[in-house]
């Protein structure tokens, strides 16, 4: 069976993907990751209105700095959508207006299987089948549902450690990756699914260095997708206060939590049932747990929002700081290109 890098010919094994992070993964980050032989994802998130502009910025970056090995019929990046909140018609229109569509489209958190199916079909038809469909799931049931309705080219297996949104009910990658791969393969073996193109598997959640990449390869995954590690990329669109909070956080099992407190405080509501966002614990969360009223907590949050980087200030941090349990492994800011090379073991890191 052809390796996953054959489908994305500018990439180098093991495949490293930069996860789409709403508001953070812009054209520069995606270009830098793909230029280093990974695949960068632009985050459209729930707001498709800026997609065309971001794609055209990416095209300018690409013409100024071409990516060797990139094919001529697709753009050497992906685009990620948070399906429940995004507009499929706008997305399809943005892609059909492009000379070449993105090589991959990442679908996450549909409100129903039917919605996921409509997105997979809609994107395939808008891009004449050129964009591969990646679907991020965090449990076996969602994976089997996705095979049924979307026939994904790639599964992104999201483990419980992942930063940002994910299912509360999910397992760590060490059990989830092999069980999910076996479940999907056995579904295909029974004659269900499109046997001519069985999917590939990318693991996401808690991977931050070469050791994590090697671990998920040993579990049977074809590559790794990372969000939290790229929060400390020079090209990430991120406030310094947020980035510093990620660099300063350690012991992610203790210092991060999956919760809906931050969604409520900043009004990013509407997620399907069962999803919460993992972020660094700060006063907004601890006040909610202590029983401070929502109105009071929201007032304090708005004040922190107005305080710029101080909203992440030591001892008074309140701002949303989505990040996964691997925060403790994120120690320095680097170019996304160097991060990708470190993850592949091409740059050796002095750890202690
Ligand atoms: C700040 C942040 C924002 C994220 N935004 C999105 C998003 O817009 N769409 C999406 O599919 N996943 C999003 N995710 C989740 C990632 O797709 C991925 O599952 C996660 O980053 C992997 O775990 P890691 O953070 O430990 O690398 C986000 C993650 C983070 C940390």
Choose among 128, 159, 298: nearest CA to 225: 159
Pocket test for ligand 1, best of 107, 134, 163 (most atoms within 8 A of CB): 163
Give the rounded distance of the alpha carbon of 152 from its chain centre.
16
pLDDT of 246 > 90? The answer is: yes
Identify the residue whose C-alpha is closest to ligand 1 atom 7: 21
Q: Could you tell me the strand order of the sheet in which 275-280 lies?
A: 164-167, 275-280, 256-259
CA 104 – CA 133 distance, rounded (Å): 6
**What is the pLDDT at residue 13?**
98
Cα separation of 300 and 282, whole Å?
12
Distance CA 296, CA 214 (A): 46
Distance 31 CA to ligand 1 centre (A): 18
Please enumerate in sequence order all residues whose Cβ is within 8 A of that of 13, keeping only pairs 6 or more positions apart, or say none. 3, 4, 5, 223
- pLDDT at 195 (0 to 100): 62
Write the pLDDT tens digit of every residue in 310-350.
999 999 999 999 999 999 999 999 999 999 999 999 998 88
Query: Does ligand 1 come within 6 angstroms of the Cβ of 209?
Result: no
Cβ–ligand 1 contact at 193 (below 6 Å): no
- Output the CATH code of domain 10-237+330-343: 3.20.20.70
Interval 230-235 mean pLDDT: 98
Measured distance CA(3)–CA(100) in Å, rounded? 23
pLDDT band at 198 (very low <50, low <70, confident <90, very high): confident
Residue nearest to ligand 1 atom 30, measured at CA: 164
Instruction: Note the pLDDT of residue 162.
Output: 99
Ligand 1 touching residue 329 (CB < 6 A) = no
Interval between CA 300 and ligand 1 midpoint (Å): 26
Q: Structural domain boundaries of the chain? A: 10-237+330-343, 240-328
Q: Which of 95, 117, 104 is nearest to 20 (CA)?
A: 104
Q: Is the pLDDT of residue 200 over 90?
A: yes
The residue whose C-alpha atom lies closest to atom 10 belonging to ligand 1 is 20
| pLDDT recorded at residue 216 | 98
Distance 190 CA to ligand 1 centre (A): 33
């Amino acid at each position: 069976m052809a390796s996953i890098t054959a489908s994305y010919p500018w990439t180098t094994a093991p495949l490293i993907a930069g996860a789409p992070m709403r508001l953070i993964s812009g054209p520069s980050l995606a270009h830098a990751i793909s230029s280093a032989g990974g695949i960068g994802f632009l985050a459209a998130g729930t707001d498709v209105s800026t997609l065309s502009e971001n794609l055209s910025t990416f095209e300018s970056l690409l013409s100024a700095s071409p990516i060797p090995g990139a094919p001529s019929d697709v753009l050497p990046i992906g685009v990620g959508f948070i399906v429940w909140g995004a507009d499929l018609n706008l997305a399809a229109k943005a892609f059909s207006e492009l000379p070449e569509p993105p090589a991959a489209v990442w679908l996450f958190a549909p409100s129903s299987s039917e919605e996921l199916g409509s997105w997979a079909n809609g994107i395939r038809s808008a891009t004449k089948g050129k964009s591969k469909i990646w679907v991020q799931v965090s449990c076996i049931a969602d994976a089997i549902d996705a095979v049924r309705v979307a026939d994904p080219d790639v599964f992104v297996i999201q483990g419980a450690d992942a930063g940002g949104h994910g299912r509360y009910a999910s397992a760590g990658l060490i059990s989830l990756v092999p069980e999910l791969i076996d479940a999907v393969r056995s579904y295909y073996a029974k004659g269900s699914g499109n046997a001519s193109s069985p999917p590939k598997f990318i693991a996401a959640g808690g991977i931050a260095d070469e050791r994590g990449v090697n671990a998920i390869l040993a579990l049977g995954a074809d590559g790794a997708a990372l969000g939290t590690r790229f929060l400390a990329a020079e090209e990430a669109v991120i406030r310094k206060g947020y980035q510093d909070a990620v660099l300063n956080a350690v012991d992610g099992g203790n210092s991060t939590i999956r919760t809906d407190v931050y969604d409520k405080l900043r009004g990013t509501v509407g997620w399907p049932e069962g999803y919460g966002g993992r972020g660094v614990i700060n006063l907004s969360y601890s006040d909610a747990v202590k029983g401070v009223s929502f109105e009071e907590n929201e007032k304090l949050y708005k004040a922190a929002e107005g305080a710029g980087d101080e909203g992440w200030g030591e001892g008074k941090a309140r701002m949303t700081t989505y990040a996964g349990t691997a925060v403790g492994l994120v120690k320095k800011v680097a170019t996304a290109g160097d991060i990708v090379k470190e993850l592949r073991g091409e740059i050796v890191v002095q750890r202690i």
